[in-house]
Structure 1
Amino acid sequence: MKVKKFVAKDMPEAMKKIRADLGEEAVILNSKRIVTGGFFGLFTKKKIEVIAAIDEEERQRPRWNEIKHVPPEKQDLKEEVEELKKVVASISSPASLSSQDRLPEKIQQIDQMLSEQEVSPYLREQVVEELLATWYRSDAPTDALLYEKTRDFFIEKMKKLSFGPVTSGPKIIHLVGPTGVGKTTTVAKIAAYYHLEKKQEVAFITTDTYRIAAVDQLKTYAKILNIPVEVAYSPADFQRAIEKFQNKDVIFVDSAGRNFQKQQYVKELQTMIDFNEEMTTYLVLSLTSKYKDMKNIVHQFSHIPIDRFVFTKKDETSTLGAMVNLVTEANKGVAYVTTGQNVPDDIEIADATRIVDWLLEEGRHE
């Protein structure tokens, strides 16, 4: 069976392409509305995507309406083929992804697992299309094969993105993020790794003067790790701190955690930090947050050069779909994922394959 994807402005155009490429005997496996281009819903175009298939042997046979005399046994075969086409079309109708009972049971189970992990409908539809193609190409696809195809799909989605910390470039590493994501603890974990494992000279600067507890917390970490720290109350303070630590290998900047769903706080951050200065900036987000809120925060930071995401609190949730959704939609990689409160241990360098394995492991353990 030959399976092919067609994208067109509407269904008549798609049908024209299918007939021209696969012929009149082609079967539509799935069709859906898609949006192309843009970022977070801006400047997008609506199109239709159709998955069609043709049995190559069937394609070479005479059409049924061209056969004048059909023996009884071949007439039965014709009826079976027509019935099969109806079944496939019903399974793969546009409503199939919103009506799971029309999918093969094994594919239905994977789709349900991804839904429970809160993977976006857009990604789930693509996974189901890939699995349906595998299903109809294989005589007896196993659970292991379908899960492997699911794993391959997500890894392929993220393979062009950069994961892990930025290893070459500016000596200033700046972490930004909303309140409550564990940003200060994360700064301490990363700094401890550079200081204790890489044997580099590091320093702290904090601009989080809105919360006395945040300053005290960072000072405590600095004292334990024997790392110098400066508190910047103004842009001038920040520049003086940068100059003071010029002899250090790496300078870690912990900025104020605010409600960055409001653009005014992003602008305040820009007045404090000179983003024109050479630095690596990580946006820290908690995996316990709602995906919609996380996406809105990323959108608010669209005018600031964010190099990677850092995801925290993996240990506090069993639902990891938001991480995959955000990475693939924002087209941006991940530097670190934190897995607990312990400094410096509970942090892992991010890797696309590891993230996908986490997602599928959590889903299968539900």
Structure 2
Amino acid sequence: MKVKKYTASSMPEAMKLVRAELGSDAVILNSRVVQTGGFMGFFKKNSIEVIAAIDPDTDISAKPAAVDQAPKFARPATMGDAPKKDTPAVQLKPIAETPQKADEELLKEIAQLKELLKGAGKIEGINLPGPVSREIQHLRDQEIDQEIIDELTAALLEKWYIGGGAANDDEIKKWIVAAIEKRLSPINFAGVSFKKKFVNVIGPTGVGKTTTLAKIAADCVLKHQKKVAFITTDTYRIAAIEQLKTYAKILDVPIEVCYNMDDFRAATDNFSDYDLVFIDTAGRNFRNQKYVNDLKNVIDFGKDMETYLVLALTAKQKDMEEIRKQFSLIHIDKFIFTKLDETSVNGAMLNMAIKFSTGIAYLTNGQDVPDDLIEANPKMIANTILGVSTYE
């Protein structure tokens, strides 16, 4: 595929340049308004930047089309001279290897295409091959951020063209899983590390912090034979204290209730010979910075501590982002996402992990202790979003 970028004063002028070099069968991949010229930052003027492509098998030596004959667009241009709505869109043809085109040249052109698409911004308007389009639409339905979708689309197009345009839905799902795994590889996932003594969970009301804490503690006791204890600072709700006391009794582990920093320090001293101490906190409206500061007045975050921010997948991503930003002065090691079983839209966990470069420790998918707890990893996150399997 031959891909070129053109800059002109207007869309008709840009189209003339495209037709003159690529012919009337060119496909417009993207168009946007850019500023050019000027002096010392002033007197810049608007121009049109167009990215166009032509299949290598197309004969471009033929006489260019007349000026009033627009090339076929993959998506409508944004200027006044754009083609009419009934202009047929052209699907990009898969690139097939030929004896005349070496593998290195093909890879170079694909890389060029990816870079140009990346530089042009959104690539959602490209008329994608059917199987690729279906999977990208699924990612949109999962409310994956557009920037991430653009990255995944570029990766899928590369795989598609290298493979000669032959792949089924299952193969494309595997490509997406691999691409998501690669994107998440720099971020630390997995559950309790056992490298720090204190495990703290914080988060807003109604996300299931106490039950989640009990699940993690039970897993450490039953599967890893660790000696554990509980501390609760949730003195706002009597029911929360009683709930954690019930879990402590079932697991046969001690519990301390802390009302202030002195209580907290005394409790940590009492549990000095325990492997892990799990800390439960009050659920508050953490969009209010006051409640974040209240946490810091009760819990000594300077301790040897892992802190998990618990969020419900049923919440709005915008609210999740606000809460995470409010905790900017507290080190958050990883997210825990709850209520996986209560929603079919799971894209927020991928968006949050990438946006804040923060891994995911666990997902929860029910109320059963300790069963409904899943330790997270990038492949499992990708499979969950694609609906392949929650547990892989």
Scaled to the shorter chain, the TM-score interval is: 0.7 to 0.9
Alignment match, 2:157? 132
The runs of 4+ residues in structure 1 deviating greater than 4 Å are 24-28, 30-33, 49-58, 87-100
Give the conservation status (yes or no) of the 8 Å contact 1:203–1:251: yes
Mapping of residues 1-366 of structure 1, within 5 Å: 1=1, 29-30=29-30, 64=61, 86-87=72-73, 102-144=127-169, 145-361=171-387
Q: 1:315 to 1:138 in 2, by over 3 A?
A: same
| d(CA) in 2 for partners of 1:11, 1:296 | 40
Alignment match, 1:70? none
Give the conservation status (yes or no) of the 8 Å contact 2:160–2:167: no
| d(CA) in 2 for partners of 1:125, 1:279 | 37
Give the conservation status (yes or no) of the 8 Å contact 1:134–1:141: no
Give the conservation status (yes or no) of the 8 Å contact 1:204–1:227: yes
Runs of 5+ unmatched residues, structure 1: 13-23, 34-48, 65-73
TM-score (normalised: structure 2): 0.71
The secondary structure found in structure 1 opposite 2:256 is strand
| d(CA) in 2 for partners of 1:32, 1:332 | 34
The secondary structure found in structure 1 opposite 2:210 is helix
Give the conservation status (yes or no) of the 8 Å contact 2:335–2:362: yes
Is the helix fraction higher in 1 or 2? 1
| d(CA) in 2 for partners of 1:357, 1:304 | 31
| d(CA) in 2 for partners of 1:11, 1:329 | 33
Pick which of 273-282 and 227-236 moved more.
273-282
Q: 1:345 to 1:31 in 2, by over 3 A?
A: farther
Q: 1:130 to 1:185 in 2, by over 3 A?
A: same
The secondary structure found in structure 2 opposite 1:192 is helix
The secondary structure found in structure 1 opposite 2:387 is helix
Q: 1:11 to 1:338 in 2, by over 3 A?
A: farther
Q: 1:52 to 1:354 in 2, by over 3 A?
A: farther
| d(CA) in 1 for partners of 2:145, 2:335 | 19
Give the conservation status (yes or no) of the 8 Å contact 1:111–1:128: yes
TM-score (normalised: structure 1): 0.76
| d(CA) in 2 for partners of 1:225, 1:50 | 65
The secondary structure found in structure 2 opposite 1:247 is coil
C-alpha displacement of 1:288: 1.0
Give the conservation status (yes or no) of the 8 Å contact 1:30–1:129: no
| d(CA) in 2 for partners of 1:55, 1:30 | 16
C-alpha displacement of 1:273: 1.1
Residue type at the aligned position of 1:142:
A
| d(CA) in 1 for partners of 2:73, 2:30 | 12
The alignment of Structure 1 onto Structure 2 pairs a total of residues equal to 315
Give the conservation status (yes or no) of the 8 Å contact 2:234–2:280: yes
Residue type at the aligned position of 1:121:
Q
Residue type at the aligned position of 1:163:
F
The secondary structure found in structure 2 opposite 1:354 is helix
C-alpha displacement of 1:143: 2.7
| d(CA) in 1 for partners of 2:242, 2:276 | 21
Identity of aligned residues (%): 43
Runs of 5+ unmatched residues, structure 2: 9-20, 34-48, 77-88, 93-116
Q: 1:154 to 1:28 in 2, by over 3 A?
A: farther
